[in-house]
Amino acid sequence: MTKIKICGLFREEDVEYANEAGPDFIGFVFAPSRRRVSAERAARLRSRLAAGIIPVGVFVRAPPEEITRRYQEGLFDMAQLHGDEDGAYIRRLKELSAGTGRGPVPVIKAVRVEGAADLEPWRDTSTSPEVRDAGTPDYLLLDRGGGGTGQAFDWDLLGPGTGEQAGGDRVPVLGQPWFLAGGVSLDTLDRALIYRPFAIDVSSGAETGGIKDREKMIALVKRIREELKR
């Protein structure tokens, strides 16, 4: 069942639109960006977010201590990392956040995809979640790079684009559940769903003129929900 995340909320209206649309996840960007929010603004927006929508904090090379502090403050429930954070970094973040009383923060690691070689390190499906190293991210996010640009990488690198074997069994594309980001919009959503990602991640594809568009947000979520009924 593909889920949807709408990233880059920074206005109260954005949260209101999200509450109406009902995505599975939303994203608050704490890294340099035109969509960046301060901790104070994120707290206000989080307080208005409907129950059941999971907030994700987006960071680029932030100190693990900073992410842990914001996580402990309850600004988000998952951390999305868009820099060069490695296994040692993730392990440290997990250790620190485990002491917050909320448990280790679930981590989404962005992977910049420019060619097939960028996916190869993540294709191993033999390791179960129970025995993975603490430095292994819980989820991957595949993007062209930069975040929020609306540009897609070559989705054909993901494979034939069915996500299914002839017998109906799911074919894992990567070793971890993954989000598909970059270039996803109402015009490309149907093709994106062919690859059966864990979740679709939309930012600029849910905007008009650089601002979150209520109708687009509602339509994107509705389209995915309808797809799940087929």
Q: Where are the domains of the chain?
A: 3-228
Q: In 3-state terms, what secondary structure has residue 131?
A: helix
Identify the CA nearest to 87 among candidates 122, 35, 137. Answer: 137
Distance CA 148, CA 141 (A): 13
Please give the pLDDT value at position 87. 94
Identify the CA nearest to 81 among candidates 112, 113, 53. Answer: 112
Options 3.30.830.10, 3.20.20.70, 3.40.50.720, 1.10.10.10; CATH of 3-228: 3.20.20.70
Please give the pLDDT value at position 71. 98
Please give the pLDDT value at position 81. 97
Interior/surface letters 203-227, b for 16+ CB within 10 angstroms, e for the rest: bbbbbeeeebbbebbbebbeebeee
Q: Is the dihedral of CA 6, 10, 15, 21 positive or negative?
A: negative
Where do we find the tokens 């002839």? Answer: 166
Token pair of 134, please? 């603490």
Give the pTM: 0.90
Q: Which residues of the chain have pLDDT under 70?
A: 124-132, 146-150, 160-173, 228-230
